[in-house]
Structure 1
Amino acid sequence: MLFNRNIKKRDILIIIFIILVGYIAIDNYTIVFNFIKRLIYVVSPFIYALVFAYVLNPIMKLLERKLKLRRGFAILSTYVLIIGIIIILLIFVVPNVIDSIISMTSEIPTYMETVQGWIDSAIKNEDLYNIVKSAGLLEYIDGLTKKGGTLLIEILQGSVSSIFLITANIIKVGFGFLVGIYVLLDKERLIKGVKTLMFIMLKEEKGQKLLFWTRTYNRMIGAYIGTKALDSLIIGSIALIGLIILKSPYAILLALVVGVTNMVPYFGPLVGELVGGIVGIFISPSMAIGTVLFLIVLQQFDAWYLDPKLVGNKVGVRPFFIIFGVMVGGGLFGVVGMLLGSPTMATLNIMYEHKVSILKVRNRNLMKRVEEEEDDEQENEVDKEE
């Protein structure tokens, strides 16, 4: 009895301590937020290291398995490959993308004059002019054109600023890239340490459950994001070839947009088509139509052939829930949230099916009644239609 009383007293003391710490943190929230911000800044290179190690681990494992390389040589080969790709991008792609953005920014005033000319020509039609004027849209359209030009300039300038911001943080990212080598070298020991800590904190049963769902989530990320990245690389390459054939003035930039946005389900391809059409319309109507038609055909090829071949049913979630996951993830965590939306919903779907299977075993009569009620409702709907 004395032991149990001691346990209760300890729990009460822990609760009081947590409440006290929480009150102090809330009362001094600016100091706490500044401390957290500073802490994240300090540990960010190590976070980058973990991310790099996570991304590069499949390549390293592939080299170990297929080429029978030792861990050190596999890591060296992986880093040589990635550094080579980065150098190629820095030499051939990045300068071209920056030049294209700067060129488009300088030409936006001309594009806006062209749009204004189209609007002026359109409203010369007396019937159309009267409709627009009576609806009170004349001043709105004129202001929209000016705002559209300003918005485009801000977006493009923001894109260039983002590139320079990444360059400014290159030391931190580079340090994380290098530390990733040690994470890969010692990954088994690190994983073992994390598992041990997990079992200490959660005990064996809960630790095993968390470990199972972590592995499931990791598998879903690899099944979707890893395979989808390959799919987007292929689509971006085909887009580049097609846009060069169509003589698009910003072929590399547009192909990059198509490839990157293709990573986002459902919404991504539409963004690529929209950007291609907007850029093409300022060159000529035929260029816009040709670009949009080509990107639509490419998107259909991806949706009906390439994506099922590569991704298939690995994610296994209904489109509604994929769209829901992408929107919620994007709203909360931006681009990273949009990318993780599908594997997150896939993992939740597996968890749901797992719980349902347990419920069916433990409550067979209940599930049987639920299924019978669904069948009765469907029969009633059919009878009403007849």
Structure 2
Amino acid sequence: MRKSMCRIGRILGITIAVYACVRWLLPLVVPFFIAFLFAKLLNPVVEKLNQKMKIKRGIASVVIVGSLVVLIGSVLVMFLWSLLEQVRHIISNLEYYQRKAGMIWENCCGQMEAITGIRAEELQRNVDVYIPKFQRQVEEKILPSLMDGTFGYAKNLLVVSGVCFIVIISTILILRDYHKIRKGLEEHPVGKVGLKVCRRTYEAGGAYIRAQLVIMLIVSTACVVGLYFAKNRYALLIGCGIGLCDAMPFLGTGTILIPWAIFEIVQGKYMMAAICAAIYAICSLLRESLEPKLVGDKLGMHPLLVIASIYVGLNLYGIWGFALGPFSYILIREIYCCKFS
């Protein structure tokens, strides 16, 4: 009994310490943690350049990290440019889409009259009463709040840019003295335990993050391809938006695709409704089949534990809890096993 109580006390102590570290310490060290991970991944390439081509580690580190930054930056710029082009096209043709929306609404009213028997003019009149109210709400509340948040958005953008700069510079510095830093950590008692815990946590936590990114990429690709074959000119923009919704907890692809399918049925466009339903079924099947396999197996966790840790994480950490919840559970488990096994 005493042994069980001691074990419970240790678990509670580790849990409290992990929660405090993830909540307050992690945001301060995460750029350097990311830099160390990049350095660990890029070190073999730097080693080859240093040994075979006799290039100094400092120069090789700058070349490798700089090339990677240019490659990733180019891909992101091309991707964002394509998205912005589609957004620009929507804005430039806004009047056309407003007229088209009016025509669609009239068609929907006609369809509702045929189904319910309520006159289309009555439906239009009832909705027309609320349109000016909605416009006033947008003008008086939503737009001012967006304008007030402009400074905050710019500040956040500067913060993100600064963090990226710190990660790049830190990666170069760590790569330059990678062996010295690694040796210093391995020789220190605390560093040795920390490396062991970080290694085991990375093997599991990295698998979780990779799995979520792979699932989001596959779902987004399925949506983009499906909408492209449906001849939707905004396939990239809408498909990426649906994939992002799917990655968000408690949202999913059905948040967009199900109302869209119903909307197309009301208009009498049954083929497009069938395409939306097919995309939704494919994306749901992909996530249901991939998530337990990629996440549960790699973490060594039952899928129910994964869901429970995400739920607890959302309540403790907010929106980032879908990643920090499983990460905290893995960290607690690895610290306990490492220290007390």
TM-score, length-scaled by structure 1: 0.54
Q: Does 1:287 align with 2:287?
A: no
Q: Contact between 1:49 and 1:177, CA under 8 Å: does it hold in 2? A: yes
Corresponding residue for residue 20 of structure 1? none
Structure 2 CA distance, aligned partners of 1:278 and 1:165?
35
Structure 1 CA distance, aligned partners of 2:129 and 2:111?
13
Corresponding residue for residue 179 of structure 1? 169
Q: In structure 2, which of residues 186, 205, 226 is the aligned counterpart of residue 242 of structure 1?
A: 226
Corresponding residue for residue 275 of structure 1? 256
Alpha-carbon offset, residue 237 of structure 1 = 3.5
* Post-superposition CA distance 1:32-81 (Å, at most 9, x none): xxxxxxxx9xxx9x85742541452454146468xx44455366335413
Q: Does 1:97 align with 2:83?
A: yes
Structure 2 CA distance, aligned partners of 1:330 and 1:346?
16
Corresponding residue for residue 229 of structure 1? 213
AA at the equivalent of 1:222: G
Unaligned runs of 5+ in 2: 1-24, 51-56, 119-124
Alpha-carbon offset, residue 297 of structure 1 = 1.0
Structure 1 CA distance, aligned partners of 2:328 and 2:45?
28
Structure 1 CA distance, aligned partners of 2:104 and 2:245?
26
AA at the equivalent of 1:183: I
Mean CA deviation greater in 56-65 or 319-328: 56-65
Alpha-carbon offset, residue 224 of structure 1 = 1.1
Corresponding residue for residue 368 of structure 1? none
Structure 2 CA distance, aligned partners of 1:114 and 1:328?
47
Corresponding residue for residue 35 of structure 2? 53
Alpha-carbon offset, residue 315 of structure 1 = 1.4
Q: In structure 1, which of residues 293, 296, 314 is the aligned counterpart of residue 298 of structure 2?
A: 314
Q: Structure 1 residues 111, 350: closer, same or farther in 2, change over 3 A? A: farther
Q: Structure 1 residues 308, 111: closer, same or farther in 2, change over 3 A? A: farther
Of structures 1 and 2, the one with the larger relative CO (CA 8 A, separation 6+) is 2
Matched residue of 2:256: which SS?
Answer: helix
Corresponding residue for residue 7 of structure 2? none
Structure 1 CA distance, aligned partners of 2:154 and 2:166?
19
Q: Contact between 1:264 and 1:339, CA under 8 Å: does it hold in 2? A: no
Structure 2 CA distance, aligned partners of 1:174 and 1:317?
32
Alpha-carbon offset, residue 250 of structure 1 = 1.9
Matched residue of 1:56: which SS?
Answer: helix
AA at the equivalent of 1:220: A
Corresponding residue for residue 4 of structure 2? none
AA at the equivalent of 1:254: I
Q: Structure 1 residues 309, 241: closer, same or farther in 2, change over 3 A? A: same
Structure 1 CA distance, aligned partners of 2:88 and 2:32?
35
Structure 2 CA distance, aligned partners of 1:316 and 1:255?
32
Q: Structure 1 residues 301, 231: closer, same or farther in 2, change over 3 A? A: closer
Matched residue of 1:248: which SS?
Answer: coil
Unaligned runs of 5+ in 1: 1-39, 130-137, 359-386
Matched residue of 2:299: which SS?
Answer: coil
Structure 2 CA distance, aligned partners of 1:320 and 1:88?
37
Structure 2 CA distance, aligned partners of 1:128 and 1:328?
49
Alpha-carbon offset, residue 293 of structure 1 = 1.5
Matched residue of 1:313: which SS?
Answer: helix
Matches within 5 A, 1:250-261: 250-261=234-245
Structure 1 CA distance, aligned partners of 2:256 and 2:136?
15
Structure 1 CA distance, aligned partners of 2:316 and 2:106?
41
Mean CA deviation greater in 78-87 or 306-315: 306-315
TM-score, length-scaled by structure 2: 0.60
Structure 1 CA distance, aligned partners of 2:134 and 2:323?
31
AA at the equivalent of 1:175: F
Alpha-carbon offset, residue 221 of structure 1 = 1.6
Q: Structure 1 residues 98, 244: closer, same or farther in 2, change over 3 A? A: same
Structure 2 CA distance, aligned partners of 1:126 and 1:253?
34
Q: Contact between 2:61 and 2:176, CA under 8 Å: does it hold in 1? A: no
Matches within 5 A, 1:330-369: 330-348=314-332
* Post-superposition CA distance 1:303-336 (Å, at most 9, x none): 42x5567556111323333233323434544443
Structure 2 CA distance, aligned partners of 1:211 and 1:100?
46
* Post-superposition CA distance 1:161-218 (Å, at most 9, x none): 698666555652453243132133334544566677873xxxx9xx83x654443322
Corresponding residue for residue 285 of structure 2? 300
Q: What is the Cα-based RMSD across aligned positions, in Å? A: 5.2
Q: Contact between 1:100 and 1:250, CA under 8 Å: does it hold in 2? A: yes
AA at the equivalent of 1:185: R
Structure 2 CA distance, aligned partners of 1:58 and 1:154?
46
Corresponding residue for residue 308 of structure 2? 324
AA at the equivalent of 2:82: N
